[in-house]
Amino acid sequence: MLSRVADNLFWLGRYAERAENTARLVDVTLRLATLPAERGHDGEGGVWHSAIVSAGCEDSYFAVHSDVTPEPAIHHLVFDRENPSSIVACIDFARRNGRAVRTALTQATWEALNTLWLEFDRRAVQAQANDDLAELLDWVQYSAAAVRGATAGTMLRSDAYWFLQLGHFMERGDNTARILDVKYHVLLPDHAPVGSAVDYFQWSALLRALSAARTYAYVYREPVRPRNVAELVILRPEMPRSLAASLSQVDRYLMAIASDYDTGKNPALDLARARYARIRDLGVEDVFAYGMHEFLTNFIEENVEQSNAIAETYLR
């Protein structure tokens, strides 16, 4: 496969995943902002400030705004084409990457992606007119899922599919780590007071941002405890948006590519193998001992390294 084609597929995966995750993040933030404790709490430490940081949009946001208030924050995260991480920009980039490699995609995948792109602007106008952002965000998540579903259901399991998946899971790991890092203090075991309403909503918002609220109840069958939340979203490989799951999938698809190609020295695979092996052996206490914030920062930095290694090995 042409390196350029693999590169387009990888970034198609990354941008489609980011659009979906940002939609989920904004959705949760809207919900959180309705809590009594959050009213009039827009600035540093407020819910929209956290959302901006979680989405990795601090630099782009503060380049044009001096403080965080809901309206500009929403505009920046959802509608602003000047912000390369906004939902609309991610959809544009995903579609552009897809269009460049149309023949590497199945008809169903292309049509799902093209529909997401064709419809977004119309629905955005509608959402702003009806003041119903939540519906737009629902639709983005639903349509991004349709793209993933078309991919899973129709694409041949070969390098095109693997590079696309690699993009999805690289991005997902990064997005989950960023969401956690902003809220890491509420996950620490010495965080007190336990059981306050505010904490409860913080945790449940975090779980919702990762589509894991029901999962938590199913896996733990007990009230939300920070230790369990941390374990679920960092270490449980069966939780599809956890860091461990992302590392396991990155490892899996790099393995598939490497065994298909048989191209010798492979720094991308070596790093992925090492990272996955490391996280598999960790318990949640190890993460606390290492320092949650340090652990997450380290994960994000290693992810950048991983992405560069993939580019170096296959995409240039």
Partner 1 sequence: MDEAVPPAAFFNEMYAPDGGISPSYRGVAAWLERTPSELVELKRREAEFLFRRIGITFAVYSAGADPERIIPFDIVPRVIAANEWAVLERGLEQRVRALNAFLHDIYHSREILRAGVIPEAQVLQHPAYVREMAGLVLPHRAYTTIAGIDIVRTGPEEFYVLEDNLRTPSGVSYMLENREMMMRLFPDLCARHRIRPVDHYPDALLATLRSLAPRACDDEPTVALLTPGLYNSAYFEHSYLADRMGVELVEGADLFVEGDEVFMRTTEGPRRVDVLYRRIDDPFLDPEVFREDSMLGVPGLMRAYRAGKVNLANAIGTGVADDKATYIHVPKMIDFYLGEKPILNNVPTWDCSEPESHAHVRERLQELVVKEVHGSGGYGMLVGPTATAEERAAFAERLDAAPQNYIAQPTLALSAAPTFVESGVAPRHLDLRPFVLTGEQVTIVAGGLTRVALREGSLVVNSSQGGGTKDTWVLADTHG
Q: Does 102 bind partner 1 (CB under 8 A)?
A: yes
CA distance 208 to 224: 13
CA distance 128 to 291: 42
Q: Are 226 and 282 a contacting pair, CB within 8 Å?
A: no
Query: Shortest gap between Cβ of 261 and partner 1 (angstroms)?
Result: 5
Question: Which residue in the set 79, 203, 276, 314 belongs to the binding site for partner 1 (CB under 8 A)?
Answer: 314
Q: Which stretch binds partner 1 (CB under 8 A): 99-107, 129-137, 240-248, 296-304?
A: 99-107
Q: Does 231 bind partner 1 (CB under 8 A)?
A: no
Distances (CA, A) of 39 to 34, 70, 121, 200: 7, 11, 30, 17
Query: Shortest gap between Cβ of 81 and partner 1 (angstroms)?
Result: 17
Q: Does 78 bind partner 1 (CB under 8 A)?
A: no
Q: Is the CB of 69 or the CB of 263 nearer to partner 1? A: 263
Site for partner 1 in 139-168 (CB under 8 A): 159, 163
Query: Shortest gap between Cβ of 167 and partner 1 (angstroms)?
Result: 14
Q: Is the CB of 201 or the CB of 314 nearer to partner 1? A: 314
Q: Does 100 bind partner 1 (CB under 8 A)?
A: yes
Burial of 82 per CB tally in 10 Å (0-12, 13-18, 19+): exposed
CA distance 67 to 35: 21
Q: Is the CB of 2 or the CB of 156 nearer to partner 1? A: 2
Site for partner 1 in 239-278 (CB under 8 A): 257, 261, 263
Cβ count within 10 A of residue 260: 12
Q: Does 315 bind partner 1 (CB under 8 A)?
A: yes
Which DSSP symbol is given to 102?
G
Q: Are 201 and 35 a contacting pair, CB within 8 Å?
A: yes
CA distance 32 to 76: 18
Q: Does 11 bind partner 1 (CB under 8 A)?
A: no
Q: Does 2 bind partner 1 (CB under 8 A)?
A: yes
Q: Which stretch binds partner 1 (CB under 8 A): 103-111, 129-137, 181-189, 270-278?
A: 103-111
Comparing CA positions, the residue from 160, 147, 70, 163 lying closest to residue 110 is 147
| E strand or H helix at 12 | helix 3-32
Binding region for partner 1 (CB under 8 A): 1-4, 6, 99-100, 102-103, 107, 110-111, 114, 159, 163, 257, 261, 263, 314-316
